[in-house]
């Protein structure tokens, strides 16, 4: 059970805002060494300054988590400064919507690059370091938390590229958990599946690399963006509350971490449909007016 945090090292991607920043703030209060990683330099610098003000040891690195070489450089820098990290929060994420056939190649490359490959790089680089530290010290403990989404457990329409990326993160993390259990009792993993929480992810285009620039948005993408912004901005659970739930889960050795446990009903319905061989359930069964509005908006421009 993880109960010791002071003096331990945490690597946090997407640390400049949202869940990442709030996880970093809890880590600051617990006296942890921090490796803050973000692609947005001004947000990263603000987080670094806050950590220094809190009096903790900090390494801040501007990294595009989708870039293998940059992530390899990060891992080397962490090893040189702090040794193997005790905690890795593969948290960086971006969002894109629209009808799945309307997403461009650049959309797929950008979203999968950050949401999936960023997690893959974090797992492939830091897990061996953690296992080596565990093998050298029977008292050493480590944990990896990968940020997925409720969209990794469901398939809401008009956001297919995001769904695919987050389903892959859930599968990757479940497999990581099982693989770790084969080889050690000292390192484990959890997956975070938040619902609609105000984090700034609906404005993630601000950090989209120019070589993967979006084309002119389609009607479905504009509708998806508007719906996402409305849902995220109206969220009642804060990023700080979700970050606290992450630390609670670490202490309780829980794998699945939810921001909105009451929203799991549709997950159960989807699982039942899969087992029964039934067609996917209506995602708007609880709010039919939303489904009617979305269908009307999309069919009016067909």
Report, as residue numbers or ranges, the catalytic residues. Answer: 162
Please name the residues in contact with 188: beta carbons below 8 A apart, sequence gap of 6 or more: 142, 143, 144, 177, 180, 181, 253, 255
With vertex at residue 184, the alpha carbon angle to CA 180 and CA 187, rounded to the nearest 5 degrees, is: 65
């Amino acid at each position: 059970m993880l109960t010791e945090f002071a003096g331990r090292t945490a690597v946090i991607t997407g640390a400049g805002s949202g869940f990442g920043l709030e996880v970093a703030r809890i880590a600051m209060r617990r006296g942890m060494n921090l490796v803050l990683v973000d692609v947005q330099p001004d947000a990263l610098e603000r987080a670094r300054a806050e950590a220094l003000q809190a009096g903790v040891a900090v390494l801040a690195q501007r990294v595009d988590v989708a870039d293998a070489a940059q992530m390899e450089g990060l891992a080397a820098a962490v090893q040189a400064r702090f040794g193997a990290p005790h905690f890795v929060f593969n948290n960086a994420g971006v969002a894109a919507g629209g009808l799945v056939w309307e997403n461009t190649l650049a959309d797929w490359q950008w979203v999968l690059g950050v949401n999936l490959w960023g997690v893959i790089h974090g797992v492939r680089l830091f897990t061996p370091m953690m296992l080596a530290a565990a093998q050298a010290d029977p008292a050493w403990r480590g944990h990896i938390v990968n940020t997925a989404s409720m969209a990794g457990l469901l398939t809401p329409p008009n956001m297919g590229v995001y769904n695919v990326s987050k389903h892959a993160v859930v599968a990757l993390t479940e497999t990581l958990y099982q693989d770790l259990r084969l080889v050690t009792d000292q390192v484990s993993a959890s997956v975070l599946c938040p619902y609609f929480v105000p984090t700034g992810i609906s404005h993630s285009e601000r950090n989209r690399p120019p070589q993967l620039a979006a084309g002119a948005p389609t009607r479905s993408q504009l509708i998806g963006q508007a719906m996402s912004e409305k849902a995220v901005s109206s969220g009642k659970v804060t990023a700080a509350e979700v970050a606290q739930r992450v630390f609670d889960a670490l202490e309780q050795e829980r794998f699945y971490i939810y921001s909105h446990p009451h929203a799991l009903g549709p997950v159960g319905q989807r699982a039942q449909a899969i087992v029964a061989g039934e067609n996917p359930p209506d995602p708007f069964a609880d709010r039919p007016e939303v489904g009617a509005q979305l269908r009307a908006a999309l069919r009016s421009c067909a």
